[in-house]
């Protein structure tokens, strides 16, 4: 059984392309096929047998969502890292023996319980500090043509970042400055590579950095046992960041139930 931190904070500002849709309300509460977007993610987590308590970060208990697994609502703490650390603190306070925590965004409404369970099987090693999901360009574009995701170019291929991961709780407090910089530049792979050091940056630019080497360098340079985990379920990377991506998710859910 694994507890989950569900990241539901974030209110698009006027310069954001989703502002026309949200009008000052949380992105997580955008209507998607008759439900708040975050409710689709909650439904998937609810139906996943191996998911335990859920900490919802960024919403209050007055939000129009429901789940028997919601154990706590945590107000927005001011930054993504602080939101994650606040969720970790709650989990460790109530389940001090926790070895792994599931961390999910609220803007992947095509997620299903079967996908969550498949992910947890792949992330069974508690000695790994971070399992970071990625989706290959081939799988993403086959499943969602026209989704126009952003890809990082490795020697193994091009990959988009996923939006649901598994991490050891202690890793949040290790190298906080590093995590804060990486999270703040999460939409810019080159900035992230520059923060990780010149070897990362040069090899990434030259498309000579492999996933295995990325993991090896993370361990050598920072002492972080990380796994870049390619997943088959492109839905894990199909977040509603832009209006046309939101419409893709809406059409998928209005047309049929998500793929199991």
Q: How confident is the model at residue 192 (pLDDT cuts 50, 70, 90)?
A: low
DSSP collapsed to 3 states, the chain: CEEEEEECCCCCCCCCCCHHHHCCCCHHHCEECCEEHHHHHHHHHHHCCCEEEEEEECCCCCCCCCCCCEEEEECCCCCHHHHHHHHHHHHHHHCCCCCCEEEEECCCCCCCHHHHHHHHHHCCCCCCCEEEEEEEHHHHHHHCCCCCCCCEEECCEEEEECCEEEECHHHHHCCHHHHHHHHHCCCCHHHHHHHHCHHHHHHHHCCCCCHHHHHHHHHHHHCCCEEEEECCCHHHHCCCCCHHHHHHHHHHHHHCCCCC
Does the pLDDT at position 185 exceed 60?
A: no
Q: Where are the domains of the chain?
A: 2-255
Per-residue pLDDT, 196: 67
State percent of the chain over pLDDT 90: 67
Scanning 198-242, the segments in alpha helix (DSSP H) are: 198-205, 211-222
89 band by pLDDT with thresholds 50, 70 and 90: very high
- HSE value, Cβ hemisphere, 13 Å, CA-based, for 207: 8
Residue 91 predicted with pLDDT over 90: yes
Given pLDDT bands bounded at 50, 70 and 90, which one contains residue 193?
low
Residue range 2-255 in CATH 3.40.50.300: no
Q: What is the pLDDT of residue 260?
A: 46
- How confident is the model at residue 177, as a pLDDT? 78
Q: Is the pLDDT of residue 41 over 60?
A: yes
């Amino acid at each position: 059984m694994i507890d989950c931190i569900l990241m539901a904070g974030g209110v698009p500002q006027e310069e954001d392309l989703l502002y026309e849709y949200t009008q000052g309300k949380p992105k997580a509460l955008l209507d998607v096929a008759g439900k708040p977007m975050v409710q689709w993610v909650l439904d998937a987590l609810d139906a996943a047998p191996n998911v335990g308590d859920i900490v919802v970060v960024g919403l209050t208990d007055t939000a129009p969502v429901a789940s028997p697994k919601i154990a706590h609502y945590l107000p927005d703490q001011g930054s993504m890292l602080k939101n994650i650390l606040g969720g970790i603190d709650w989990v460790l306070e109530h389940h001090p023996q926790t070895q792994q925590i599931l961390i999910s965004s609220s803007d992947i409404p095509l997620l299903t319980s079967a996908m969550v369970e498949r992910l947890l099987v792949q992330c069974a090693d508690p000695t790994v500090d971070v399992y970071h999901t990625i989706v290959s360009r081939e799988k993403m574009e086959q499943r969602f043509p026209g989704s126009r995701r952003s890809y990082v170019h490795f020697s193994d291929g091009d990959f988009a970042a996923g939006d649901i991961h598994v991490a050891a709780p202690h890793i949040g407090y290790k190298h906080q400055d590093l995590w804060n910089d990486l999270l703040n530049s999460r939409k810019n792979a080159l900035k992230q590579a520059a923060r990780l050091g010149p070897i990362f940056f040069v090899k990434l630019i030259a498309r000579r950095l492999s996933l295995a080497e990325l993991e090896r360098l993370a361990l050598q340079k920072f002492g972080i046992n990380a796994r870049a985990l390619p997943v088959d379920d492109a839905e894990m990377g199909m977040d509603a960041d832009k209006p046309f991506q939101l419409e893709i998710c809406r059409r998928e859910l209005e047309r049929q139930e998500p793929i199991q």
